[in-house]
A and B are shown apart, each in its own frame.
Chain A
Amino acid sequence: MLPPSVHAQLAAILPGEALLTAPEATRPYECDGLTLFRELPAAVALPDTEAQVVAILRACHAARVPVVARGAGTGLSGGAMPHKDGVVLSLAKFRRILAIDPLARTAVVQPGVRNLAISEAAAAHNLYYAPDPSSQIACTIAGNVAENAGGVHCLKYGLTVHNVRRVRGVTIEGEVVEFGNEALDAPGYDLLALINGSEGLLAVITEITVKLTPKPQFAQVALAAFATIEAAGEAVGKVIAEGIIPGGLELMDQAATRAVEQFVHANYPLDAAAILLVESDGTPEEVSAEMADIKRVLTDSGATEIRVSKDEAQRLLFWSGRKAAFPAAGRISPDYYCIDGTIPRKALSGVLHKIAEWSAEYGLRVANVFHAGDGNLHPLILYDANVPGEADKTIAFGDRILDLCIEVGGTVTGEHGVGVEKLRGACNQFAPAELERFLGIKRAFDPHALLNPGKAVPTLARCAEFGRMHVHGGELKHAELPRY
């Protein structure tokens, strides 16, 4: 419940239909794309002007009411999960593309604009917005900035942070701030980089200037089949070693290809243990030279079959299976849990092997479909939340994979963020003094910790709780390290 005075203030700022408090109205906001974690908020606010956002934040700040910004709610780490005493601040009504400058190759957009809508609007100028998360038809650009989202083409074209020039936001105190500008750098500290991936903890984003990229003249994708997933993993390293940076380099294992084939009919070779999709883009001359190199490396790496897309329709067909992989997992299993660790490429086959071993041990199926070029894993653990104990087993399995990612020199999250889901992983990945600096950054922006509290950066006390949980499970890791 909101304090009545805050409710009254919000009701004065917003029209009636833009302030929701009844449980049946706030229910759709109880979780994001990670349905394992749910909470009903005290209220949902749906402003449509920056002035309203400022006023809402001022009111909440004065009364110390937590605020959770929300885009499309497609996040996969519980980042937009509500706070039970807080306000969900939805930016869904901010859907306008404010300006496109084709000569400077930039677009100024409101936070709730969908990722794909930017590329659609820029298409008339033969430009597009390069980062392409698989959720791009639904997710918002502010959600992308808040998570520093990646996509299939990030190996070559960068993550969100590489493609955003300027972010305008409002601090919890209601102050409007601009990070970055229209130039290629800004004076002072790189606060623009800090806002990217800040998971709604530092400021509420109200406007974004993104960089647009010329559409490649031509693209082709090679689909290569492998007899073992390890061989596919090794081929990935060999492509890079050859000096090739493909437009996209994705891996799907047999569980994934079989799952998608049932309803997109991408015509993948289903007897292969794994397939790679390797895209080349550029001028037709560049692509034909690069594709010849790619084919040679894949053959030398033991590919049992290589198909190169003959035309645009076939290229899209090859990709259709990859793009449909998550929904497909949702069809073949009542629930799935997507893990997001990143590892050095050299560790790929070893880690994939371990995941397969543990899959058998836990009796939970896994489909692997991921951004192999940047070592960003997405094992999808298939489970049934209605079977008692299976959700817990799934989380334990996921935690084990993330621990392994840290052990081999990687990270617990490549693109989905820490949210509420990977707080435990963050405790493992960072030393207390490092977490303390993160909390310091949080303090510099939001001294009372009102913006998305309890997410992204665990407090040391929270880590201590996890530590105790660990001892319970009898699997205390790194016993030599001090516990807090």
Chain B
Amino acid sequence: MRKEALRTFLLSALIAFLLTFMLFTPWEQDKEARLFFKLIILLLMLTVLLSYVQSIKQAERIKRVELTYTVIRCSNCNYKLEREYREGDFVFKRVGICQCGGSLYIDMIYTIKPQRPSKPWLLR
């Protein structure tokens, strides 16, 4: 992540430098050279954009952690409890006695992937 940010920064600095260089150089006549310069700048800009996109994709991959939940039910009444999954949980495990006297068991263990984080405006 940090390496990529540094690269983006260096490339942007280079572009800024080239742009200023171009602005303050009086070669109105030399059209080919100017075209060449413009092309280089365009390419650099594309590189910056690509590395930006790449870094966002990477960040997205890291952020998407799966979450697992355990649903506990009573075999007698309508009691239902949803909590985070703990090691040792398994479906149909008896986990205690309900207030009504029925036995509590794990009814479901499911995993959800959180939604993708909203993308920055450039990639929407």
Q: Do A and B come from one complex?
A: no
Residues on B facing A (Cβ under 8 Å)? none
